[in-house]
Chain A
Amino acid sequence: MSGWPLWEVFVRSSRGLSHVHAGSLHAPDAAMALRNARDLYTRRNEGVSIWVVPADAIAASDPDAKGSFFESPQGKDYRHATYYTQSEGVKHL
């Protein structure tokens, strides 16, 4: 295990759904990572497809920059259908 890279595992639970993060594991290469992921995260038919991604290939937003990074949708309620109340009661709208 020594020095083996860390892989993040994503599993698609059935056709038509997205791959969802299931966890992580260590493996020397992608082929082994896939096999280990199958044994570790799909022992009960939890998936029909697996992605493994080297953990260091993932770029993540800075958790401390929550405010500035995500603030733009705030105050923009008009992006939600619920903002428009005058059409209440009108069918198929």
Chain B
Amino acid sequence: MDDTAGQANFDALMAADSRVEPRDWMPEAYRRTLVRQISQHAHSEIIGMQPEANWITRAPSLRRKAILMAKVQDEAGHGLYLYSAAETLGTPRDEMMEALIAGKARYSSIFNYPAVSWADMGAIGWLVDGAAICNQVPLCRASYGPYARAMVRICKEESFHQRQGFEILLELSRGSAVQKQMAQDAVNRWYAPSLMMFGPPDDDSPNSLQSMAWNIKRFSNDELRSRFVGMMVEQVEVLGLTLPDDQIRFNEETKKWEHGPLDWNEFKDVLAGHGPCNAQRLERRRSAHDDGAWVREAAAAYAAKQQAAVAA
């Protein structure tokens, strides 16, 4: 199919809000945008295992330990679903992995903050996975088929993540005064970074409009952030805790939730590599990759040997 016919076909798919599949003609910029977004998303899932994996050995009970391991394992799975989806666009997986290890790829800035107490496992599940769900549910309708299908699978698994976090916070909140304070401190730490997960404000998000025109993104950053704030306002009451923001209000005119100012300089700083844990996260990923080299080599050698035996 030549470019003119291809573009016409692509435009028709967009107009019909239909799906684009891997072997369809698509504009180069659409392909590039998707590879960037999906691979960044995959990297976020992979790096996102670290703040929580950090607490597996120190979980307060066997039950909590099993739950946390299952959650971290899910995040590994999410990363793999997404690498598969990105790969259908023609970018080899090794290339994406190497970009991450070389520090050339981006991932969600939230994972560059430290998880300093057990209560952070609660706050991460409730706020970070909560914000991720808010972001990801509309992506189940993204125009690129493999991405949308990966998101459907991911969203099914995410709700357990948020609930287990909520439960951790609830139990701490109903515990001793010290435990309750621990939960409140964790919420205070993760509140603003989780709101920033939705990305910069709409007037500072240059690529959003194009992504919306391509039916990749369905709602603007501010719209999703506002919805998220509304949900958290209700849930924090059940927790018996508070959100560290005295400017939250429901705007009757716009029918939207509003929140206090966020420190976007900090956001940009962390994204640029200057967050509290950027170096540590990359170093950990790099050493995990290097430490696993012998396993990959052994598996490849075994497969080659089996194949040779079959051929002989």
- Where the two chains meet, the residues of A that have a C-beta atom closer than 8 Å to any C-beta of B are 1-4, 6, 23-29, 32, 39-40, 43-44, 60, 62-64
Contact = CB atoms under 8 A, between A and B. Distances in A.
Interface string B297-311: 001101100110000
A27 B300 CA distance: 9
A62 B24 CA distance: 9
A39 B87 CA distance: 20
A1 B300 CA distance: 9
14 contacts: A1-B93, A2-B296, A6-B87, A23-B84, A24-B87, A25-B80, A25-B84, A26-B93, A28-B300, A32-B299, A43-B77, A44-B157, A63-B23, A63-B24
B196 interface: no
| Interchain residue pairs A-B with the least CB separation, the first 8 | A28-B303, A29-B303, A64-B1, A63-B23, A28-B299, A24-B84, A28-B300, A63-B24
Contacts of B190: none
A69 B74 CA distance: 40
Contacts of B73: 43
Contacts of A39: 77
Contacts of A6: 87
B290 interface: no
Contact of B300 (A4, A25, A44, A62): A4
Contact of A63 (B21, B93, B94, B302): B21
Nearest to B304: A28
Contacts, number: 48
Contacts of A29: 299, 302-303, 306-307
B81 interface: yes
Given A1-B93, A2-B296, A63-B24, A28 B302 contact: yes
B150 interface: yes
Contact of A2 (B21, B87, B94): B94
Interface in B1-25: 1, 21, 23-25
Interface string B228-246: 0000000000000000000
Contacts of B153: 23
Nearest to A36: B80
Contacts of A32: 299, 303
Interface string B53-82: 000000000000000001001100100110
Contact of A23 (B70, B150, B302): B150
A3 B95 CA distance: 11
Interface in B93-111: 93-94, 97
A40 B82 CA distance: 12
A25 B307 CA distance: 20
Interface in B152-208: 153, 157
A40 B25 CA distance: 30
A43 B157 CA distance: 10
B10 to A, nearest CB: 12
Contacts of A64: 1, 25
